[in-house]
Structure 1
Amino acid sequence: MSQYPQGDPAYQSTPPAGQTNFERTMGDIGGSGPLSPQQERTWATLSHVVPLALFILSAGTLGFVASLVIYLMYKDRGPFVRQNAANSLNIQIAMGIGVVISWIMILTIILSPIGVLGLIAVAIWGCVLHALAAVKANNGEWYKPPMTPDFVK
Structure 2
Amino acid sequence: MSDFDNVTTPPPPVSAPAPAEQRTMALVAHLLGIFTWFLGPLIIWLINKDDSSKSFVTDQAKEALNFQITITIAMLICIVLTIVIIGGLLAPIVGLLNVIFCIIAAVKANNGEAYRYPFALRLIK
Q: Normalising to structure 1: TM-score of the pair? A: 0.65
Matched with 2:45 is 71
What displacement does 1:76 show? Answer: 2.6
What displacement does 1:116 show? Answer: 1.2
For the pair shown, the structure with the greater C-alpha radius of gyration is: 1
Matched with 1:98 is 74
Structure 1 runs (4+) deviating above 3 angstroms are: none
Matched with 2:20 is 38
**Quick one: percent identity of the two aligned structures?**
34
For structure 2, list consecutive stretches of 5 or more residues without a partner in the other structure: 1-17
Where 1:136 maps in the other structure, the secondary structure is helix
AA paired with 1:51? G
Which of 68, 93, 98 aligns to 1:126? It is: 98
What displacement does 1:46 show? Answer: 0.6
Equivalence map 1:133-148=2 (5 Å): 133-148=105-120
Q: Distance in 1 between matches of 2:50 and 2:23?
A: 15
Where 1:72 maps in the other structure, the secondary structure is helix
Q: Distance in 2 between matches of 1:138 and 1:100?
A: 31
For structure 1, list consecutive stretches of 5 or more residues without a partner in the other structure: 1-35, 55-61
Matched with 1:51 is 33
Number of paired residues?
A: 106
What displacement does 1:38 show? Answer: 1.6
Q: RCO greater where, 1 or 2, for CA within 8 Å and sep 6 or more?
A: 2
Task: Provide the aligned C-alpha RMSD in A.
Answer: 1.3
Q: Normalising to structure 2: TM-score of the pair? A: 0.79
What displacement does 1:51 show? Answer: 2.2
AA paired with 1:121? I
